[in-house]
Amino acid sequence: MDSVELIRVKENVWIHRTSGIVGGEKIPANGLVVVTSKGIALVDTPWTEKQTESLILLLKEKFQKEIRFVIVSHAHEDRISGINIFLKNSIPVYSTSLTAKEAEKNGFTKPHPKLDLDPRMSLGDTGIEVYYPGHGHTKDNIVVWLPGSHILFAGCLIKSLDAKSLGYIKEANLDAWPLTAKNLLERYPDTEIVVPGHGDWGRLDLIRHTIRLLDEQHSK
């Protein structure tokens, strides 16, 4: 359970994958590792603090580079549980003011709400854009776009192709979510790889599949 898997997606972009237990079921979750000329940027923390410690050691060993910052895509356990470990290691953790508010409500340390004012960042030779497409899986879900490699980290807003349901929807807005997903198709039409919060990465058809799942949910 404490293992961390690194999966190469493209060039200098990797998925960090860890697992947590939800309702007695083992659920793997994806975060992103972006290796640049000036260090590493991460999207989302592992499920647990122990996994987060393992990830930090693994990345230093594999890439011989420092982690410069972490972006949290929303304030759920599989995205933010490792925040205190990063802060203890003097690694800043960024998100929006909405996610900071939700994090506090959910019992987590608040990430720095830097992304409200600075949605576009760069680290070394790599540009990173954060975008809030609207309420979907949660009210605060953001996505991360890597323009240089045409990779969209869509997180739990978008489902993998083998997903048969929308998963956890207690905080979702099922009426707004289809439009929120369509916002991604319109904003990032040249996306080559979409990374969901859970399951395998793919192309823009992951977004269309999510919209179909939402249509099925509405017709129930």
Percent of the chain predicted with pLDDT > 70? 100
Closest CA to 198 of 109, 79, 48, 101: 79
CA distance 150 to 119: 17
Determine the pLDDT at residue 135: 98
Q: pLDDT tier at 1 (50, 70, 90 boundaries)?
A: low
**2 pLDDT exceeds 80?**
no
Whether 126 shows a pLDDT value over 80: the answer reads yes
Rounded to two decimals, the pTM is 0.97
Strands 67-71 and 13-22 turn out to be unpaired
> What is the set of domains in the chain, with CATH numbers?
5-219 (3.60.15.10)
Taking a C-beta distance cutoff of 8 angstroms, is the pair 191, 204 a contact? yes
Candidates 8, 51, 39; CA nearest to 151 is 8
- 154-185 residue pLDDT tens: 999 999 999 999 999 999 999 999 999 999 99
Q: What angle do CA 209, 214, 217 make, to 5 degrees?
A: 130
Place of tokens 């979907």: 136
pLDDT band at 146 (very low <50, low <70, confident <90, very high): very high
- pLDDT computed for residue 220 by the predictor: 77
What integer pLDDT is reported at residue 23 of this predicted model? 84
Q: In this predicted structure, what is the pLDDT of residue 143?
A: 98
